[in-house]
Amino acid sequence: MMDAIDRDIINNLQGGFPLCERPYAEAAAGLGLTEDELIRRVESLLENGTLTRFGPMYHAERLGGALTLAAMKIPAEDFERVAKIVNGFPEVAHNYAREHQFNMWFVLATETPLRIGEVIGEIEKATGYTVYNMPKLEEFFVGLRFEA
Amino acid sequence: MSTATALRESKADAAYPPDATDRRLIVATQEGLPRVSRPYHAVAEKLGISADEVMARLQRMLDGGMIRRIGAVPNHYALGYGANGMSVWDVPDARVRELGKKIGELDFVSHCYHRPRHLPDWPYNFFAMVHGRDRAEVEAKVAQIAALLGDADRGHTVLYSTRILKKSGLRLGG
């Protein structure tokens, strides 16, 4: 279970991890912890799934890559089969089941914008269902920091 | 223009194409940093470059906005944010930008985008991701968005996630 120290780590280390020789020591000092304790806590938060990652969050489009959000309408009886096929594409970064006629929503991250269209075609061919491409036309805000 | 928007735009200007070493650095760190006392030194050793170069390159990518941030990436389900509601709205195209900036300023909205419609199946052109501890909390927040949009809200719905089917983050092939 998470305790107050874990919460402190999560609430204060979602950004700004230092770029220096001993960043855990520096971050730990700000939290009133020792370097060893912070490393141990981060490791266990990763192990128990409270954190999905600890490190740099890259911005795909700024690296020359491309991102899009895509959705599919899959009949319930075929959902698991299609999910397996879709998840098998390395370009599929996240995939969520949602309660709606459009019940499968995934993010495609590719190294080139051209590749987005290719992958969508490949997914349609492999699954037999239409992929609805919903690329962002404009982004207004991305900045939620979760409170633990 | 809000400060955040101005900052993002100036960062986009500072973006540059990653070179071969940047790409090796991205591949080596996209799964996370090593949990050791000198993590940048550990990465440097793996890549055969100096730790100073690793830190300088990460700093440059951070300044250029190619790295959004460095730190903990929480699993929001594990934190009790079980109701992840994707609210989708049909608003007049001509007003998306004006309304997007307004909705984007709400502190409970994480992602907020203008996206294309797919008529007739999908009439919604504006997406705002709302996180809450339960559906009642999400519904209350969605009602706040509806009130702000007023008559620009020509129809909306909320799609709740029921399962994460895959979550791997960005992957750059090595």
CATH value at residue A76: 3.30.70.3460
Q: Is the CB of A95 less than 8 angstroms away from the CB of B166?
A: yes
Find chain B residues with C-beta within 8 A of A141's C-beta: 4, 104-105, 109-112
Domain boundaries of chain B, sorted by first residue: 11-63, 83-160
List the single residue in B29, B36, B100 with the smallest CB-CB distance to A55.
B29
Instruction: Check B114 against A104: CB less than 8 A apart.
Output: no
Within a domain: A25 = yes
CATH class of B11-63: mainly alpha
% of chain B surpassing 90 pLDDT? 63
Which among B41, B74, B109 is the nearest to A50, CB-wise?
Answer: B74
Q: Looking at the structure, do residues A25 and A79 belong to the same domain, yes or no? A: no
For residue B80, the model assigns a pLDDT of 73
Per-residue pLDDT of A5-48, as tens digits, reads 999 999 899 999 999 999 999 999 999 999 999 999 999 999 99
Please give the Cα distance from B165 to B136 (Å, whole number). 24
Q: Does A54 map to a domain?
A: no
pLDDT at B59: 97
Reported confidence tier of residue B161, pLDDT bands at 50, 70, 90? confident
* Chain A residue whose CA is closest to B22: A63
pLDDT in tens, B59-94: 999 999 899 899 998 887 777 777 779 999 999 999
Residue pairs between chains A and B whose CB atoms are closer than 8 Å: 248
Pair (A42, A87) in one structural domain:
no
A65 and A101, same domain (yes or no)? yes
Q: Are residues A74 and A14 in the same domain?
A: no
Kindly report the pTM of this predicted structure.
0.73
Main-chain dihedrals φ then ψ at residue A95, nearest 5 degrees? -145, 125
- The chain-wide mean pLDDT, for chain B, equals 87
CB-CB under 8 Å, A19 with B69: no
At B1 the pLDDT is 36
The closest CB to that of B161, out of A13, A45, A97, belongs to A97
Considering the domain architecture, whether residues A30 and A79 belong to the same structural domain is answered as no
Residue for token pair 């409170």: A147
Segments forming the whole domain that contains residue A20:
4-47
CB contact under 8 A, A98 and B160: yes
Nearest Cα neighbor of B83 from B122, B141, B124 is: B141
Query: Which of the four pLDDT bands, split at 50, 70 and 90, describes residue B12?
Result: low
- Judged against a pLDDT cut of 60, whether residue B8 lies above it is answered with no
Residue of B nearest to A73 (CA): B121
Q: Rounded to a whole number, what is the distance in Å from the CA of B67 to chain A's nearest CA?
A: 4
Which of the two residues, A79 and B65, has the higher pLDDT score? A79
Are A74 and A125 part of one and the same domain? yes
Q: Which fold has domain B83-160?
A: Alpha-Beta Plaits (3.30.70)
Work out the mean pLDDT of chain A and round it to a whole number. Answer: 92
Band (pLDDT 50/70/90 cuts) for residue B174 is very low
**Contact status, residue A40 vs residue B54, Cβ threshold 8 Å:** no
To the nearest whole angstrom, how far is the Cα of A118 from the nearest Cα of chain B?
17
Query: Taking residues B96-115, what's their average pLDDT?
Result: 90
Q: Report helix angle A23-31 to A35-47, nearest 10.
A: 90
User: Is A139 within the bounds of a domain?
Assistant: no
Q: List b or e across A49-80, with b for residues whose CB sees 16 or more CB atoms inside 10 angstroms.
A: ebbbbbbbbbbbbbbebbbbbbbbebeeeeee
What is the tally of structural domains in chain A?
2
Residue A55 lies in a domain: no
Predicted ipTM beyond 0.95: no
Which residues of B are less than 8 Å from A135 in CB distance?
115-116
Cα A109 from Cα A123, distance rounded (Å): 14
Same domain, yes or no: A70 and A41: no
